[in-house]
Structure 1
Amino acid sequence: MKLSKWLLVGVCSVGLACSAGVFAKDKNEANKYPNATRQDPKVSMSSKDQTLLNKAADLVNDGKSADAQPMIEKVLGNSGSSAYAQAFAHQLTAQVYYDQEKGAQAIEEYKKAIAFDALPNDAQFQLIYALAQTQLQEEKYQDALATLADWEKQTGTQSADEQALKANAYYRTEQFQPAIDTMKKAMSMTDKPSDSWSQILMASYFELNQYDQAAELLKGQLAKDPNNKKLINQLATVYIQGDKDQLALELMAKAKAQGLVTTNDDYVQLAKMYAAADKPKDAAATLKEGFGKNALQPTYDNYKLLGDVCTQSEDDACAIEGYGKASPMAKDGNVDYQLGYLMFYADKSKDAVDALSRAISRGSLRQEGEAYLLRGDAENDLGQGAAATADWQKAAGFASTKSMAEQRLKAAKGGVKINRAKKK
């Protein structure tokens, strides 16, 4: 988050736009911190320093830090400059570092500016808050918490933004329950909480496995924005994490009926939910619709998923299509093994041999013995006895297929006709 504009304006408005001498607060201006424990100091600055710092502030705001630097250093090098001028010069230097994404250096300069204790309350408190923000961004989470505690003590107040910042720091230090309590307080203090606050609250619930609370938060948000796909997907994820798969499925099915399932991820998520709920036909129908609408991407994972759910729903033609399209993108032989298996039992033994040969060649098979056994069966079906015998001999070398392979070899040797095995 960019701090320079609002922070500089806040400091400049206190004194630099006024005349030299004592920079008094406008009596008509409302006191932002009526419960502050810090006394508002009297401030003064020479006209020379005022001119230099006014110009430097304008340059920093315009992104011309290099031009501002000599003016700032001139004030810092002047032992006769007031504490107020020194504090503001250090604040400007901090801002230069911050704009250059040098967070560690910015933190040190903010600390120097604050240590002078010379700025009016509004400016001083803004600097303390900016220090906490920068510490959080630099992953100095405990330092940020300490700085925010100091801000609360000096201002005598709390704000929604400040509480949210504190909750963020609690979350980063894995203090999840304090993060939850503090973020809920922040959200209760404003009617326009940031979306990022909800994300931190949600993440904290997740870390503590408080899925019901996370679901209630999301349901409340969905009630206000029922067509928000991001919220729907998050709620579905919460339901799944909380072992409420049926609720997740119902939520996504409803979203589909609302026309909200439109992207690759949407269709894949819904199809997997149907598959997990033992509804492979619905999963297959969802994927077919996604491919038909060109919403699903022609990827290995998507085609393999189609093959898997169609296999589960005993739609062999669909499974063959899915695995067939996944095959050219496969990095191992497992999809080709499934394809070869289905081809063999679809009375397409030559295609089965081709698929199983690719499977064996690509390797990393979970069922290598079965691949040799099945290819031998397909070759035998095609009248290729020598090839079948060679594959059955290889299959006999695997524990999972040793017995079946030896039976086939014995039968073939004895001239007994080997019938096609039943599909498992």
Structure 2
Amino acid sequence: MKLARFAHIALCATVLLFSSTAVLAAKDKESAYPNATRKDPKVNMSSREQSALNKATDYVNDGEDAKAIPEIEKVLGGKKVSSYAEAFAQQLLGRIYWDQDKEAEAMAATSKAVELDALPNDAHFALMYQLAQMQVQSEQYEAALATLDTYKAATGAEDADQIALLGNIYYRLDKFQEAADTMKRAIASSNEPKESWNQILMASLAELDQYGEAAEVLKAQLAKTPNDVRLIKQLATIYVNDDKYPEAIALLSRAKDQGLITSSEDYVQLAKLYANADKPNEAASTLKEGITKGVVKPSYDVNKLLGDVCSQAEDDPCAIEAYTLASAQSEDGNVDYQLGFMLYYAERGAEAKVALDRAIKKGGLRQEGEAYILLGDIESYANNDAAAMTAWRKAATFPSTKVMADQRIKATQTGVKLKRK
């Protein structure tokens, strides 16, 4: 039940402006990390570096990355580049590479900017946190965990987003108990927890087989958005995994009645739930409704399922029709055997024989011996004893039907006619 990979992380678009006014303003501004143990480094750079980085920053903010790169390279190629200018240039490079989907290059540049340890605290720590996000996006979860540990130790800061990112990492590392506990803490720390946090919490609980608690998480979300089909289907899946079929059926059936169940997959899932709950009539009705509405396309799987549930519901005409449609789409003879079986007991022997012959010809039968038994019986009832004996002798070569075949052969040889049950 692992969640899909998160969408590409959009990096913060704001970057420092290189001007004496901006630097002075930054000094007077209250730090975003008041508990940090690191002292703000001194900002030193040449006028040439400042001019080039100002241009590069403007280009990046305007989305003109191609123009920004020569200015950045001008700084990095300098003979005596200051640590501050180099770190800022690497930060800009990291952002450019990330926007270009060059994840490895982006992380290398961002890591270099952090390692230089030259940016002001607010920029340095924000970049460190951004690096952890990049590592999560790139599935480098152990590295992300280490980066977050360093970030927390250096800043003394911890907010709901940070806790949630940690929970996300634990989930990706299959540490589901840690993920669940951490995500609960994130949700409790926020006035407006994100939907994705609840999703990770629910998925972690499901991985731990704690379906009851996972269901409660989803029901709380549904209470806010009762018509969210995605949440409805997730809750139904939790119920199924917890063997609570009646609850799953009630949930999806109610959603269908409200017009929320509109896809082929949804109709088929509900039909299968009815079938698993020994409610074949409801399963057949659901499939027929979906087919009539044009939502469910009559594929092999759909026709086979409809034939099965109609057969269980003792609706022979429906089963025969569905199996006939499935036969034309099948790659082996198994559905033809089921069709022949249904036709045989509907006393349509000639049609049954055609279906059974087709089943044997297609091959891949799970009940090949039984097919020959039925063929022999059909021939016997038609007084074709020689053909019946041939079919039964073939059936006698299969362990599952040897006894039945031998009994029929012996009876026929002694003049006893097979009686139809």
Same fold (TM over 0.5): yes
Is this contact kept in 2: 1:350–1:382, CA < 8 A?
Answer: no
Read off the aligned partner of 1:417 and give its amino acid letter: K
Match of 2:3 in 1: none
- 1:147, CA displacement in angstroms? 0.9
227-236 or 101-110, which moves further after superposition? 101-110
Counterpart Cα distance in 2 of 1:41 and 1:24: 14
Is this contact kept in 1: 2:87–2:112, CA < 8 A?
Answer: yes
- 1:30, CA displacement in angstroms? 4.8
- 1:216, CA displacement in angstroms? 0.6
- 1:55, CA displacement in angstroms? 2.0
Is this contact kept in 1: 2:9–2:133, CA < 8 A?
Answer: no
SS of the counterpart of 2:106?
helix
Match of 1:312 in 2: 312
Counterpart Cα distance in 2 of 1:415 and 1:354: 27
The equivalences for 1:345-356 within 5 A come to 345-356=345-356
Read off the aligned partner of 2:39 and give its amino acid letter: Q
Q: For the structure 1 residues 73 and 272, does the alpha-carbon distance in structure 2 shift closer, same or farther, using more than 3 Å as the test? A: same
User: What whole-Å deviation, never above 9, does each CA across 1:345-377 have from its counterpart, x for those lacking one?
Assistant: 111111101110111111111111000110122
The equivalences for 1:62-77 within 5 A come to 62-77=62-77
Root-mean-square deviation over aligned CA pairs: 2.1
253-262 or 326-335, which moves further after superposition? 253-262
Counterpart Cα distance in 2 of 1:363 and 1:77: 72
Read off the aligned partner of 2:253 and give its amino acid letter: A
Counterpart Cα distance in 1 of 2:202 and 2:194: 13
Counterpart Cα distance in 2 of 1:269 and 1:351: 32
The equivalences for 1:45-124 within 5 A come to 45-124=45-124
User: What whole-Å deviation, never above 9, does each CA across 1:242-270 have from its counterpart, x for those lacking one?
Assistant: 12222222222222332323221221111
User: What whole-Å deviation, never above 9, does each CA across 1:151-198 have from its counterpart, x for those lacking one?
Assistant: 222332112222121111111222211111111222223343333222
Read off the aligned partner of 1:294 and give its amino acid letter: G
The equivalences for 1:251-262 within 5 A come to 251-262=251-262
TM-score by length of 2: 0.92
Match of 2:279 in 1: 279
Read off the aligned partner of 1:400 and give its amino acid letter: S
Counterpart Cα distance in 1 of 2:26 and 2:341: 86
The equivalences for 1:30-41 within 5 A come to 30-41=30-41
Match of 2:386 in 1: 386
Counterpart Cα distance in 2 of 1:192 and 1:163: 14
163-172 or 70-79, which moves further after superposition? 70-79
- Number of residue equivalences: 415
Match of 1:370 in 2: 370
Q: For the structure 1 residues 2 and 259, does the alpha-carbon distance in structure 2 shift closer, same or farther, using more than 3 Å as the test? A: closer
1:173 aligns with 2:173: yes
Read off the aligned partner of 1:305 and give its amino acid letter: L
SS of the counterpart of 1:329?
coil
Q: For the structure 1 residues 383 and 51, does the alpha-carbon distance in structure 2 shift closer, same or farther, using more than 3 Å as the test? A: farther
User: What whole-Å deviation, never above 9, does each CA across 1:31-80 have from its counterpart, x for those lacking one?
Assistant: 42233332233323322212211222333345543433222122112233
Match of 2:12 in 1: 6
Read off the aligned partner of 2:20 and give its amino acid letter: S
Counterpart Cα distance in 2 of 1:403 and 1:69: 83
Read off the aligned partner of 2:302 and give its amino acid letter: N
Match of 1:204 in 2: 204
Is this contact kept in 2: 1:4–1:61, CA < 8 A?
Answer: no
Read off the aligned partner of 1:96 and give its amino acid letter: I
- 1:131, CA displacement in angstroms? 0.9
Counterpart Cα distance in 2 of 1:50 and 1:325: 75
Read off the aligned partner of 1:212 and give its amino acid letter: G
Read off the aligned partner of 1:333 and give its amino acid letter: G
Is this contact kept in 1: 2:11–2:95, CA < 8 A?
Answer: no
Read off the aligned partner of 2:90 and give its amino acid letter: H
- 1:393, CA displacement in angstroms? 1.4
Is this contact kept in 1: 2:9–2:134, CA < 8 A?
Answer: no
Counterpart Cα distance in 2 of 1:232 and 1:207: 19
Is this contact kept in 1: 2:219–2:235, CA < 8 A?
Answer: yes
